[in-house]
Amino acid sequence: MDYADSSQARKTQWPRPLVFLSWLLITVLTAQVACAAPAPRFVQKDGRHALLVDGKPFLMLGGQIHNSSAWPSELAQVWESAAALHVNTLEAPIYWEQFEPQPGHFDTTNIDALVQGARARDLRLVLLWFGTWKNGKMYYVPSWVKADTQRFARVIRPDGEPIDVLSPLGRNTLQADKAAFVALMDYLKKIDGDKHTVLMVQVENEAGILGSARDNSPEANKLFEAAVPAEMLAAAHKTAGTWKEVFGDDADEIFQVYHQAKYINEIAAAGKAAFDIPVTINVWVTNPLAKRTTQLPGVDYPSGGAVHKRVDLWKALAPAIDAIGPDIYDKDPWVVESLTQPYLRAGYPLLIPEIGRNDNFAKDFYKALGLGAVGFAPFGIDRTGWNYLGDEKWTAHARNFELFHPMSREIAQLEFDGKVKTAVEEAGHASQEIDFGEWQATVTFPKSSGAAAPGGAALVAELGADEFFVTGTDASVVFHLKDKKPGERSQFVTVEQGHFENGAWKPLRLWNGDEAGGGFSFHQEPEVVRVKMQKF
Ligand code: DGJ
């Protein structure tokens, strides 16, 4: 059609009912397109990951509430704490015992309170399904499950004693947990299918057995003495034999991994078939660096969980799981890096669903961003007068989140594009180099001699040719050309402090003189600069 034709068409008088019908059609179609922003999902590009929320990368600045705080009676103080910590996402449990008080009767009171409360405060949610397993025990199953030890099989210890953990071989338990989880996902689809308040659901919590390395029931023993299934052999790259022949001293734990991974995978897959949003698990970890301490499955950590040395098995056996998040409470400065590597190498996005809330874990946020994290959440953020590592305040996490909250979408995109690098203070290293090829940034930590918590940290993102975005706390950043000193054949043109407002950069002032000459200095204030460099 040429221009003459189309102007002709505009002049054509359409009958009124036809006009009304066309208007209706267009309105309906437009409304559908508006609602059709895809559900949250993980995507990958060149080995990097993003959590897409409403179609764009999202950095989850999370906070997990205490175990017994997801009740309407507790939420007022929860929302206050979430606001003070500057989170954009709250992680909150859904208790099977509360959700299904009688078989097949579902109570959505807690979910409704969480979803409505989050929406009213412009927060997102990650819901944690406290089902068959919670910290290697069966704490949160409904009382009708606890009561019926015949129908819901317990783990049996090697000495024949049943314990307070459910066995993954219990088909009835699997069916009951799966039915409840599907009911939860069905309900979320109904109330949140087009709103995306709930970003993902964690299935179970630190799953596994505490109290035995595996189930020793007669049924389990029969399977344990039989040949290892082909699927497990393929996952472990092993050749045929019994569990003991193939896996030796690790046989009990790996037998448990196999049954537990398949159990959880079946629940996750059924849940995603009902509502396709990411489903994740979290892990009671073992420390990969603790080489001289023996860490026994079933004693020191729940046997069967996706600990770092079992993550490849989980990857093969539980394909419905989108992310496996290590829970980090170890203050060892190397632990974040060493613990997260196996999960990254296995191809999972880096999600830290729990980390210590006190100040010395705050620099791990920068460490995690440098590794491409999609989410980071201190544990136990609401006021209960108790926290796992002591009831200290989370001042340093709050400072980080206040700084990153307004630019979390931009940082998520830059991370996904591979443009973000970070430096974190380490004892004995007063400075660090960040390498962008032609340009390098030297980061120094002026307070390093005092080794005071939380320690300095800096983030540098490459925005374009000779242009960077820089922020940090207790750190000073200076750019220089590769193999040249700062000031040799290079200088800064402008160092513009500003902030993001609805995705747009708003400049505030230019740094110069003492604030920029010897390096761009970041203290405790949440400040960000955009730096233009020049070669001459
Ligand atoms: C890790 C668990 O996942 C949390 O639910 C909580 O129990 C903490 N440990 C300890 O406070």
pLDDT computed for residue 16 by the predictor? 55
pLDDT computed for residue 455 by the predictor? 83
pLDDT category of residue 26 using cuts at 50, 70 and 90: very low
Which of these ranges, 28-32, 116-120, 351-355, has the smallest mean pLDDT?
Answer: 28-32
Ligand 1 center to residue 215 CA distance, Å? 23
- The mean pLDDT of 421-426, rounded to a whole number, is 94
Which of these ranges, 20-24, 105-109, 354-358, 458-462, has the smallest mean pLDDT?
Answer: 20-24
**DSSP helix/strand/coil, 495:** strand
* 354 has a pLDDT exceeding 60: yes
> pLDDT higher for 266 or 360?
266
109-120 vs 75-85: helix crossing angle, rounded to 10 = 40
**DSSP helix/strand/coil, 31:** helix
Output the six-digit token pair for 475. Answer: 């750190």
pLDDT computed for residue 107 by the predictor? 98
Ligand 1 center to residue 220 CA distance, Å? 29
Cβ atoms < 10 Å from Cβ of 419: 17
Give ligand 1 pocket residues (Cβ under 6 A).
67, 135, 205-206, 282, 327, 354, 379-380, 388
| SS3 readout for 105-135 | ECCCHHHHHHHHHHHHCCCEEEEEEEEEEEC
pLDDT category of residue 277 using cuts at 50, 70 and 90: very high
Residue nearest to atom 10 of ligand 1 (CA): 388
Residue nearest to atom 5 of ligand 1 (CA): 67
CA dihedral sign of residues 405, 411, 416, 422: negative
**Distant-in-sequence, close-in-space partners of 268: CB < 8 Å, separation ≥ 6:** 203, 279, 318, 320, 321
pLDDT computed for residue 67 by the predictor? 98
* 493 has a pLDDT exceeding 50: yes
With pLDDT > 70 as the criterion, what percentage of the chain qualifies?
91
- Residue among 64, 206, 283, 285 whose CB has most ligand 1 atoms within 8 A, to mutate: 206
Output the six-digit token pair for 368. Answer: 């995690």
**DSSP helix/strand/coil, 26:** helix
Output the six-digit token pair for 382. Answer: 């609401």
Between CA 366 and CA 473 the distance in angstroms is: 10
Between CA 201 and CA 269 the distance in angstroms is: 12
Task: Answer for the pair 400, 87: CB distance below 8 angstroms, yes or no.
Answer: no
pLDDT category of residue 449 using cuts at 50, 70 and 90: low
pLDDT computed for residue 243 by the predictor? 98
pLDDT computed for residue 11 by the predictor? 39
* 60 has a pLDDT exceeding 70: yes
Ligand 1 center to residue 128 CA distance, Å? 12
pLDDT digits 0-9 by tens, 315-333: 999 999 999 999 999 887 7
- Residue among 64, 65, 66, 67 whose CB has most ligand 1 atoms within 8 A, to mutate: 67
* 268 has a pLDDT exceeding 50: yes
Nearest C-alpha neighbor of 488 from the set 480, 497, 476? 480
Which of these ranges, 56-70, 334-348, 457-471, has the smallest mean pLDDT?
Answer: 334-348
- Looking at the CA of residue 205, tell me the nearest atom of ligand 1: 3
pLDDT category of residue 83 using cuts at 50, 70 and 90: very high
Task: Answer for the pair 61, 408: CB distance below 8 angstroms, yes or no.
Answer: yes
Residue nearest to atom 2 of ligand 1 (CA): 135
Ligand 1 center to residue 399 CA distance, Å? 23
pLDDT computed for residue 231 by the predictor? 98
CA dihedral sign of residues 17, 20, 26, 29: negative
Cβ atoms < 10 Å from Cβ of 510: 13
Ligand 1 center to residue 387 CA distance, Å? 10
pLDDT category of residue 17 using cuts at 50, 70 and 90: low
Over the chain, what is the mean pLDDT?
92
pLDDT digits 0-9 by tens, 112-132: 999 999 999 999 999 999 999
pLDDT digits 0-9 by tens, 174-212: 999 999 999 999 999 999 999 999 999 999 999 999 999
- DSSP label at residue 57: E
pLDDT computed for residue 429 by the predictor? 80
pLDDT category of residue 452 using cuts at 50, 70 and 90: low
